[in-house]
Amino acid sequence: MKKKLSPARKPLPRFSSDEETAAYFEAHSVADVWDELSPASPAQPSAALAKSIRQRHARLKSPISLRLAAEQIAAAKKIAAAKSVGYQTQLRMWIADGIRREAKRA
């Protein structure tokens, strides 16, 4: 059973640590002040961390050549756009789903 959260104070208090912030939001709901919150700025990883992430992802994937009909590519792009993902990501997800499904049958 979910516990009832107290409403957050207006304006939100300033926090001195991540732990203090986490404790506050575990006990308080921001539902009443949500529309008044300023948007958070996106996290910017350091250059070294960004490079490490790119290298790790590059190692995890191997490029292949796959010939598809123009209609198949167009359909994949349309479906992927509706899901707000890239079409190559969508194709990889379909391939992964198919592999999992076939592996269960084997």
For 59-103, write each residue's pLDDT tens digit: 888 889 999 999 999 999 999 999 999 999 999 999 999 999 999
| pLDDT score at 79 | 97
Please determine, for residue 32, whether its predicted confidence score (pLDDT) is greater than 70.
Answer: yes
Please determine, for residue 2, whether its predicted confidence score (pLDDT) is greater than 70.
Answer: no
CB-side neighbour CA atoms (13 Å) of 47: 0
Structure tokens at 8: 């957050």
Do 29 and 7 form a contact (C-beta atoms < 8 A)?
yes
Exposed/middle/buried for residue 8 (C-beta within 10 Å: 0-12, 13-18, 19+): buried
List the chain domain ranges.
6-35, 67-106
| pLDDT score at 78 | 97
| pLDDT score at 9 | 77
